[in-house]
Amino acid sequence: MASSCCACNTSFHSRICDMACTTAFSHVARAMALRMFSRIARLPAIRTGLPLPIGLVLGQELIHPPRMASRIRISTLSFGHFARLETRLHPPTEEHALCHALTTASIATEAPSPSDSATYDAGKIQVLEGLEPVRKRPGMYIGSTGPRGLHHLVYEVLDNAIDEVQAGYATNVDVVLYADGSVGITDNGRGIPTDEHPVTGKSALETVLTVLHAGGKFGGESSGYTVSGGLHGVGVSVVNALSERLEVTVWRDGQEYKQTFQRGKPVANLFSCKIPNGDSSRTGTYVRFLPDSQIFTSTTSFDYNTIGGRLREVAFLNPEVTITLKQEDEDPEKVRFSEYHFAGGLVEYVVWLNQDKVRLHEPISIRSEKDGITVDVALQWCSDAYSETLLGYANSVRTSDGGTHLDGLKAAVTRTLNNLGRKTKALKEKDENLSGEHAREGLTCIVSVLVPNPEFEGQTKTRLGNPEVRKIVEQAVQELVTEYLECHPETLDAILEKAIQAYKESERACFCEAAMAAKTARELIRRKNLLKTSRLPGKLADCTCSDPRFSEIFIVEGESAGGSAKQGRDRLYQAILPLKGKILNVERKDDAAIYKNEEIQKLILALGLGVKGEDFNKDALRYHKIIILTDADVDGAHIRTLLLTFFFRYQRSLFEDGFIYVGVPPLYKVERGKQIHYCFNDDDLKKLLRTFPSNASYNLQRFKGLGEMMPLQLWETTLNPAQRMLKLLTLEDAAEASLMFSLLMGDKVEPRKELIRSSAPRVKLEQLDV
Q: Which of 18, 631, 732, 736 is catalytic?
A: 631
Q: Where are the beta strands (DSSP E) in 53-168?
A: 56-58, 61-63, 76-77, 83-89, 105-106
Give the list of residues 6+ apart from residue 312 with CB closer than 8 angstroms, or none: 340
User: Among residues 348, 455, 614, 633, which one is catalytic?
Assistant: 633
**Residue whose C-alpha is closest to residue 367's, from 319, 417, 403:** 319
Active site residue 633: yes
Q: Report the run of H or E that residue 297 belongs to, with start and end.
A: none
Report helix, strand or coil for 15: helix
Residues 6+ apart with CB under 8 A from 158: 173, 175, 185, 310, 311, 314
Rounded distance between C-alpha atoms, residue 557 and residue 146, angstroms: 31
Asked if residues 193 and 285 have their Cβ atoms less than 8 Å apart, the reply is no
| CA distance linking residue 124 with residue 648, whole number of Å | 48
Q: Decide: 325 and 308 in contact? Cβ < 8 Å.
A: yes
Helix (H, G, I), strand (E, B) or coil at 483: helix
Dist CA 572 CA 191 (whole Å) = 60
C-alpha separations of 79 from 104, 118, 134, 652, 744 in Å: 37, 57, 33, 15, 10
Residue among 635, 657, 684, 708 flagged as catalytic: 635
C-alpha separations of 44 from 54, 55, 111, 114 in Å = 18, 20, 7, 14
Distance CA 770, CA 766 (A): 10
Specify whether 180 is catalytic: no
- Rounded-to-5 percentages of helix, strand, coil across the chain: 35, 20, 40
- Bridge-based pairing of strands 668-672 and 660-663 is unpaired
Give the CA angle between residues 29, 35, 38 to the nearest 5°.
140
CA-based torsion, 511, 557, 663, 740: positive or negative = negative
641, 744 Cβ separation under 8 angstroms: yes
Of 28, 51, 31, the C-alpha closest to 103 is 51
Active site residue 631: yes
Q: Which of 164, 441, 557, 736 is catalytic?
A: 557
Contacts for 39 with CB less than 8 Å, ≥ 6 apart: none
Phi first, then psi: what are they for 148, rounded to 5°?
-65, -45
557 included as an active-site residue: yes
- Nearest-5° Cα angle at 589, 586 to 591: 90
> Looking at the DSSP assignment, which residues form a beta bridge with residue 246?
261, 289
Catalytic positions, written as ranges: 557, 631, 633, 635
